[in-house]
Structure 1
């Protein structure tokens, strides 16, 4: 599948906002996994630099061995210690490593880290922005190079080519970083720092709230905060010991004021839920919880803007800032990074932002008093639509949705509608039938065929945003493990809340097979038992390999695809579509099983339904998951679904999986996978 949306993207595609969200997500994905390292650096700075907390404590005492100075790298130890090397080397390398890994796994990560060292040594400022450029670039180039000679390396030379290609590309990018990227980013960083100084010196920095506060509600905060403010703020903090930039977006005051206004002057569910939301926002640092309250009455964005401007103005007035990023934006995290002489300014900035936001929001709610309070649930749904996924805190605002009536129509959707979705639907259907919900149907389907008539849609996490476009009124559940996702149990629990007692019979009827695929393929009862030959034909003995030779995911896909070609099930072009499908969403099912298959567009390359089976003595790294069994799939119609259902049953049973591991012949494997 060539077009798949990340579940963190907004549902509507296209437009400036979605593009900015994608850009912000890419930047934040390099910074957020390493926030702990930023915090560690901030705490080391707070404790051990020349003006740090421990330095003040030991200032009147003799420091035998000078251990405080050694750690901080000041005084006679200037340039040594931990603080300087951490911000100069560790943090940028972590960002470059993460950026490369995002693009091309561990190989991209290593190239990204090597290249980042070149950028660091070629500059005279902390190279966070440089790492954000060179890290992903290294991963992308490594991915392209690997694609050039994929399948063309003689056996036995793979490790030699892999290692030298990483080393040579890393060398070239390190040189490029040293002479090119490093100096350019240094110039840009100094220019950006001068721009910030200009805004501060001319008392116009508070005007940035006009952009920041609306951006937060539109989920563009990652692009602004982690993409721009954190790198610039860290560079500024390295020179001055603190930065006001860390407080521009994280101040909880604007959101807290809005939630307090709803607490005192709101109505209905909004007023009832606002106090709890305020606690989560202020102490937990989850700012997104107040976004629905703004979306209910968009004019309240004015309260957030004025509150944010007030907080920034006070911080400018007191010259206050933080030593390192405060993540999440909790008052606890903010105080943890506040220098000892800045607590007053930071505290007043939060209090002032809260007070102004509260007064303005109260006024706006008061003049709107005659109007009916909009639906908080609808506003929360709108927020989740913009965010592109279910909010982890939204249920606190709205509670479970029991108003849509019983859920009877569930669709498990993927790109082609024949592999991942069929397997997932089989597992989910079994759980639902076992729970006694015999009136609930679970079918698998291609996303392109979805209509907005279904009750609940289940998709891989990377496909949820795409499915929302076709079925906005359905409940959407995201999974990342098709065989044993905990979300399946959540769906069963949801059915217990939404479906009437009459809808759950307590147990399947004696004559019914709860694991059959009747809901998907709709065959008559007993059809599977009376027509075994297509099942046997789909998995030929010649298409079963007990000792696979592949060592990488791509090689394993080639191996499984080649078996499909050799048995006449597909044309050669189908194998390329299997790789295309894997680029968008991994086909790892869980429990050691991967089922690579082609895209929906490649169905014309399928001659007949066929499956291949490869068992590996050493598990394949399948995007971070160990795949011991690889089943290649080519489904011309629905006659492969029964076999997939049986395979699902096998891999949900630890004893059956052990039988597969111990099988000595291809015939034995086929018997295990096709027995009813």
Structure 2
């Protein structure tokens, strides 16, 4: 028994490690896909064989693919490890690898006999994916060595020279040591792919790629191998078949079409909507639960994938650049000018073959599925999320749409890390929706995850916190949201409450009328002072970084006597765990649950940044800092939620010309 458990953990650990590695590679590549698309458009239009040949503009093609794209990837990888400082050092180090590769190629070509084919440039995508994060890691560790040891006034000097020297050393190392290794590796991988193509074995890669997609192991293959090789091939030939090995939407379309026609239960009901999201939206992960529901369907997607690859080989079809997301629209947009017939046929035929095989599998078990007392689809959705290693809004939507609660839903709990901010506002928004829907007898409350009562019927959390909530409330229905303000999942929750009510019979009378659609906690506002005063409201014409905005919020709360100086660190810890972005240009930073000792009184800070704040990738105009003692701030947050849920009210708040006017528009928060 012990041996089996150890093996299981080891396999799970290996799978998670591959997923994390693939996700890291994806994190470097995906933000730079727009640059790859731009390069693809310029190539398609302006090279000699393009739609609009232009020798001058075609001169962009080489520098973009050889320098710009690798450096962008390196900077993104460095930024992921050590923010801007890491990005700069990572880019310097990558330039050394690029120059080193060019020098090796030039020396090789200089020694060739006259008339021999010259060796082409090696585009350092893999070098960028190594040196970008490595450079950032090195400077991060160096900074730790003298952190707190530099005399005041010399910090900038040390920071600038340490990063410059580190970049210099890494660039030299990349030039002499890493460049030869990367060149050799690219040659080996390129030779292997050419051998698969020459021997007509490339379709067999679907045996690896299609199952890897379903288990979220494909990113390491796609971004670590296929994208670098595909870009190199596209730079030489104007297109690459490698971009279509993983991105073809045909197999997913075929599976979902089979479920639409021959499926049963929740899988059949949700398949048409999932088909549209997968084929047009390019979100392939949405079909994975359908395959996991019947693992034999892996044969269907492998057969479909191999058919698509074979079709592209027959027609010598390819894409100019990666198609991301894997939508039919993105695929067609990147299709080379001579490849439309092959690419379209590859999608159609792969979908047809997948549909045919999947239909046979579904029909062979249809009688058993119809007789089953339990629908296994929700379990398959949960398994897919577990394979991914994190929550997905698309998969969560499937869960919300298909989960059939065993009991009537009367107790809904919003949970966040601290239970003082985002969850309170989310509860207010949903409470209003439930009341508007005429539903009675449903309590909507908010709590910290650590304080979940264990008897909730439905728990709503941000995606990063769902697994923790499931551990505390395993019997509840769980819904994950991207933000608490205007999450589309709220409509699904209202429908789910109605469904549970209809199945269990009539509205609940278990909850007291004072709790119907209300909060089960004491939300009285303190009467001795106002929680928001003019001194706590600020308007800035410019922009700020997220950390600057956090610092200002903490400073305002500290000046109001609401928090100690330790609160800023707690606010940063909260953002590191999960973003406090709420939607509608609002963020509500606050401390973690462990920071209660740093809160002396309830207070709010309101800062409007007209130039905006990049808040974990989202644009924020209003930053409302929160400090709360007990529950006395919850009613205030409910009122703020009502304001910011209304886009017209947000527009009025943005137009306020002074702090006094902004406070007046927010004055409801001080009325108990």
Q: Tell me the TM-score normalized by structure 1.
A: 0.73
Between the aligned partners of 1:171 and 1:202, the Cα distance in structure 2 is: 45
Shift of 1:98: 3.5
Asked if the contact 2:539–2:659 (Cα under 8 Å) also holds between the matched residues in 1, the reply is no
Asked if the contact 2:560–2:603 (Cα under 8 Å) also holds between the matched residues in 1, the reply is no
Structure 1 residues 566 and 45: CA distance shift in structure 2, 3 A: closer
Asked if the contact 1:193–1:236 (Cα under 8 Å) also holds between the matched residues in 2, the reply is no
> What residue is the counterpart of 1:621 in the other structure?
613
Shift of 1:19: 3.3
5+ long unaligned stretches in structure 1: 1-12, 56-66, 73-80
Pairing partner for 2:451 from 449, 452, 465: 449
> What residue is the counterpart of 1:597 in the other structure?
590
Structure 1 residues 135 and 488: CA distance shift in structure 2, 3 A: farther
Shift of 1:146: 8.2
> What residue is the counterpart of 1:75 in the other structure?
none
Aligned ranges 1:130-529 → 2 under 5 Å? 130-137=127-134, 177-179=174-176, 181-201=178-198, 203-259=200-256, 262=259, 281=278, 285-313=282-310, 315-316=312-313, 320-331=317-328, 333-339=330-336, 346=343, 349-350=346-347, 353-354=350-351, 356-358=353-355, 360-365=357-362, 367-368=364-365, 370-372=367-369, 375=375, 377-378=377-378, 379-384=380-385, 386-387=387-388, 388-390=390-392, 392=394, 406-430=408-432, 432-433=434-435, 436-450=438-452, 453-471=455-473, 474-482=476-484, 491=493, 503=507, 519-522=519-522, 528=524
Pairing partner for 2:39 from 35, 38, 41: 41
* DSSP-derived class of the 1:225 partner: helix
* DSSP-derived class of the 1:372 partner: helix
Between the aligned partners of 1:47 and 1:385, the Cα distance in structure 2 is: 43
Between the aligned partners of 1:650 and 1:354, the Cα distance in structure 2 is: 47
Moved more, 391-400 or 241-250: 391-400
Shift of 1:298: 0.9
* DSSP-derived class of the 1:32 partner: helix
* DSSP-derived class of the 1:246 partner: helix
Aligned ranges 1:74-153 → 2 under 5 Å? 81-103=59-81, 113=91, 116-124=94-102, 125-137=122-134
Shift of 1:444: 1.8
Pairing partner for 1:633 from 627, 636, 640: 627
* Residue-by-residue CA offset, 1:438-487 (whole Å, 9 max, x unaligned): 52222221223336642332323433344345445544444455556565
* Residue-by-residue CA offset, 1:38-94 (whole Å, 9 max, x unaligned): 2343344445545x3549xxxxxxxxxxx544444xxxxxxxx23222211332233
Shift of 1:239: 3.1
> What residue is the counterpart of 1:59 in the other structure?
none
> What residue is the counterpart of 1:22 in the other structure?
20
Asked if the contact 1:660–1:672 (Cα under 8 Å) also holds between the matched residues in 2, the reply is no
Shift of 1:297: 1.6
Between the aligned partners of 2:625 and 2:169, the Cα distance in structure 1 is: 40
Between the aligned partners of 1:169 and 1:440, the Cα distance in structure 2 is: 60
Between the aligned partners of 1:211 and 1:455, the Cα distance in structure 2 is: 41
Moved more, 229-238 or 594-603: 594-603
* DSSP-derived class of the 2:63 partner: helix
Aligned ranges 1:547-562 → 2 under 5 Å? 552-555=545-548, 557-558=550-551, 561=554
Between the aligned partners of 1:147 and 1:555, the Cα distance in structure 2 is: 22
Instruction: Verify: 1:577 aligned to 2:573, yes or no.
Output: no
Between the aligned partners of 1:369 and 1:521, the Cα distance in structure 2 is: 49
Structure 1 residues 83 and 630: CA distance shift in structure 2, 3 A: same
Structure 1 residues 465 and 186: CA distance shift in structure 2, 3 A: farther
Q: Tell me the TM-score normalized by structure 2.
A: 0.73
Shift of 1:133: 3.1
Structure 1 residues 664 and 368: CA distance shift in structure 2, 3 A: closer
Larger RCO, structure (CA 8 Å, separation 6 or more):
1
Asked if the contact 1:553–1:620 (Cα under 8 Å) also holds between the matched residues in 2, the reply is no
* DSSP-derived class of the 1:322 partner: coil
Shift of 1:307: 3.5
Between the aligned partners of 2:267 and 2:609, the Cα distance in structure 1 is: 57
Structure 1 residues 354 and 570: CA distance shift in structure 2, 3 A: closer
Between the aligned partners of 2:193 and 2:29, the Cα distance in structure 1 is: 21
Structure 1 residues 493 and 365: CA distance shift in structure 2, 3 A: closer
Asked if the contact 1:430–1:514 (Cα under 8 Å) also holds between the matched residues in 2, the reply is no
5+ long unaligned stretches in structure 2: 1-10, 103-121
> What residue is the counterpart of 2:671 in the other structure?
675
Please, what is the CA RMSD of the aligned residues? 5.2
